[in-house]
Structure 1
Amino acid sequence: MNKRRVVITGLGVVSPNGMNVSEFNSNLQKGVSGIRCIEELKKMNFSCQIAGLPMYNKEYLNNYFNNIQLKGLHATGMEYGVIAGMDAWKNAGFSINDSDIPYWDTGVIFGTGILGVDKFREAIYKVDNGDVRRLGSTTVTQTMASGISAFLGGIIGCGNIVTTNSSACSTGTEAILMAYNRIINKEAEVILAGSTSDSGPYIWGGFDAMRILPYKYNDNPTKASRPMSAAASGFVPGSGAGALVVESLENAKKRGATIYAEILGGHVNSGGQRGGGSMTAPNNQAVQRCIRKAIDNAGIQPVDIDAINGHLTATNKDADEIQNWCQALERKGQDFPYINSLKSLVGHCLAASGSIESVATILQLKENYVFGNINCEDLHPEIASLISRDRVPVQTINFSPNIIAKASFGFGDVNACIIFKKYL
């Protein structure tokens, strides 16, 4: 039996190098980095004093929150998610539901790793000082993980699933696949899917303590994030949010929506922290299996993939990831697809990475280009032994990909791979 066709009809992004899709798209093509020095990290004696941080004035929030909602708001992940989510919703041509009847066929699946750390810290100090009554009425909703999906679902007026998933770096890609599967199974027509990640020292401090962040580039931040480079020395922390409106093709065509891309399928799995997998390292067999299963689910062949947007964090696991792609696709050398990593431009946006990178993947399909990997002129020798140098472009190339595979591999040995196709 033929599957329902599922498409993307709206995009929204809050990224270190772009606060909206237009700016983000332009900076992707130009290779503009959003990684910068963070003075707060320097004052707090971080080894790595740089990060990918979305930049906007607090007045900008007036476009997305009313005065009551803004009162006591102190959760960057909530801010990022609402901005990206509402931009995607409006970009899809939808309006806000102002009736008393929910949209029964519309839902929200919006993931996060942790939400409202700054608000939680604020609450701890007030409780410790005996000022419980001064916490405010929104502390719970700003710090519960599902606060972001509940907030968006309430604004839109969703009557279908409204939930938050959390799978470390795989969160955003997993959320899109959850939406896809729900629409495939005829349990919904429209899902706002995406993910968000808080920013700041209380999010990034643990990674700094693990010594997996680069510390030699504090005076040269745009050179720090170096996926697939021989000089890669760790990932640059980042933050933001990505959002996609996932919709059945029938519903999209019925309302005359703009269609950005089609989702052909995908797969989510875990390596079980066995076979070399651990809380922080992937089981390579599970990664390869996830890629193969995604391809099978999409109904395509490995040779059909024109480009890959990898996870590729600028750690010593980059070469392993390329090896896994080669094994899973049975392609290497000049036959390997083009491959890139958004992290060279924005850092590793943690739970938001999969959704922001999916927006970047879809823009490449829609606008006919493959963005370059900045800071990768010195391709890692292990990677160079597997694939041809020109498969890793360092500048944006004019190319019209038809199918792009997007993958995310997260802490906890969890994997997600999704296959996007140009809509014709």
Structure 2
Amino acid sequence: MKERVVITGLGVVSPNGVGIDNFALAIRNGISGIRFVPEMERLGFSCQIAGQPVLSEEKVASYFTPLQLKGFNSNGILYGIIAGIDAWKNAGLPLDTDDADWDSGCLFGTGTSGVDKFREAIYKLDEGKVRRLGSTTVQQTMASGVSAYLGGMLSLGNQVSTNSSACITGTESILLGYERILAGKAKRMLVGSCSDASPYLWGGFDAMKVCTYKHNNAPEEGSRPMSASASGFVPGSGAGAMVIESLESAIERKATIYAEIAGGHVNSGGQTNGGSMTAPNSIAVQRCIREALKDAKVHARQIDAINGHLTATSKDPTEIENWAMALERSGDDFPYVNSLKSMVGHALAASGSIECVASVLQLHHGFLFPNINCEDIHPEITDLIAEERIVRSVIEKKLEYVAKASFGFGDVNGCIIFKSFKN
């Protein structure tokens, strides 16, 4: 019988709420965190709105020493550290220890880290000021910077590493930590992901014309997953984090248990059968969902709700079709479905982890958050599923299983099945 792995700590830095209480309140009430960004207008972006967490100087200063903050401008890492420490504290684990905790590790993902710090370094180098780069440039720009910071701040002695797999990064990080605990190589893992808030990261997507340009004067209406009037995604940023651990360890510590990870799966479509660097191979997507169910030992009919990847692009109907085919459920029989991106935008490498935190909160508190900006459901979606299955106002409902999937550039897929905890 395989080890049971549970979630005992949550942390989040989201465009619509920093901290679990603020975030839970925001998603329950359909509060958007998408705003107009003057810098994007100045730089000539077509899309001039984005989801960026709001953090005061006082809030940031409560997590770092003045020395740590000197020359620190990698906001993705900053988001990850705050979310990670919050999750650790939320799990009731000690912050200050003199010795390494050999039973605890960290797998914290990112996409492109420290973009603004790179830009600063490039300008200084071009000006011949290499000695002015500062002593923390390397740790702020290396991909593993966020996990390295967290590993040191929390004295973690088990594996401390960073994964990077485009938009499935956060979902993948949770599954990697889950597998390490299952293998008996760690008692607990801090898992999650982060993404920078920077026009220098978002510019490439604007150039690809995959971001909306129609709602610069109405930012909160801009992200429209599953809507016929969706015109592209809204870039976002932030971080989500969880402490996951063996059930035995959680019970021994008398920890609060939010939910259980029943199982999951990651795969790639190999950029075949319609898959490409930017498009999903539907065969692989459906296989990923089915394999996740198989690993979780859960029947498709037991899934109460889906927290989709659903980005407000032309691929939304394809995703719903893949879910319908993988689960063999359609019409009124389809699970409830929602997309957090309607409120926070597409947080790229951080999207999976923030959305997984939202999935767990739904299970723990017994509600389904609304998918906002979906008054006009795409007709290709209503051809597949009943309109009532798309959550458009909060639903108070006891849930047993929530499926969360992420799909990313490179034709990669990840799916986790979360379960309400019963001892």
CA distance in 2 between counterparts of 1:277 and 1:127 reads 40
> Aligned pair 1:330/2:328, yes or no?
yes
How far residue 182 of structure 1 moved from its aligned partner, in angstroms, is 0.4
CA contact (8 A) 1:271 1:282 kept: yes
* Match in the other structure for 2:20: 21
Gaps of at least 5 residues in structure 1 are none
Deviation string for 1:374-420 (max 9, x for gaps)? 11111100000100011002111111111000000000100000000
CA distance in 2 between counterparts of 1:327 and 1:309 reads 16
* Match in the other structure for 1:257: 255
CA distance in 1 between counterparts of 2:282 and 2:84 reads 33
CA contact (8 A) 1:97 1:103 kept: no
* Match in the other structure for 1:233: 231
How far residue 58 of structure 1 moved from its aligned partner, in angstroms, is 2.4
* Match in the other structure for 2:197: 199
Deviation string for 1:98-127 (max 9, x for gaps)? 21x211110000000011110111011111
CA distance in 1 between counterparts of 2:57 and 2:176 reads 33
> Aligned pair 1:355/2:353, yes or no?
yes
Q: SS of the counterpart of 1:114?
A: coil
CA distance in 2 between counterparts of 1:82 and 1:232 reads 33
How far residue 12 of structure 1 moved from its aligned partner, in angstroms, is 0.2
CA distance in 1 between counterparts of 2:360 and 2:298 reads 18
Letter in 1 for 2:103: D
Match of 1:410 among 402, 405, 408: 408
How far residue 204 of structure 1 moved from its aligned partner, in angstroms, is 0.5
Pairwise mapping of residues 391-406 of structure 1 onto structure 2 (< 5 A)?
391-406=389-404
CA distance in 1 between counterparts of 2:287 and 2:408 reads 15
Pairwise mapping of residues 177-326 of structure 1 onto structure 2 (< 5 A)?
177-326=175-324
How far residue 57 of structure 1 moved from its aligned partner, in angstroms, is 1.8
CA distance in 2 between counterparts of 1:185 and 1:60 reads 37
Letter in 2 for 1:137: S
Deviation string for 1:343-377 (max 9, x for gaps)? 00000000000000000000000010001111111
Q: Tell me the matched-pair count.
A: 422
> Aligned pair 1:166/2:155, yes or no?
no
Match of 1:345 among 330, 343, 346: 343
Name the % identity. 62
Letter in 1 for 2:368: V
CA distance in 2 between counterparts of 1:149 and 1:199 reads 18
* Match in the other structure for 2:91: 92
Match of 1:106 among 104, 109, 117: 104
Letter in 2 for 1:128: D
How far residue 26 of structure 1 moved from its aligned partner, in angstroms, is 0.3
* CA RMSD, 1 decimal: 0.6
* Match in the other structure for 1:33: 32
TM-score by length of 2: 0.99
Letter in 2 for 1:85: G
Match of 1:379 among 373, 377, 380: 377
Deviation string for 1:214-235 (max 9, x for gaps)? 1010001111100000111100
Divergent runs of 4+, >3 A: none
Letter in 2 for 1:174: E
How far residue 91 of structure 1 moved from its aligned partner, in angstroms, is 0.3
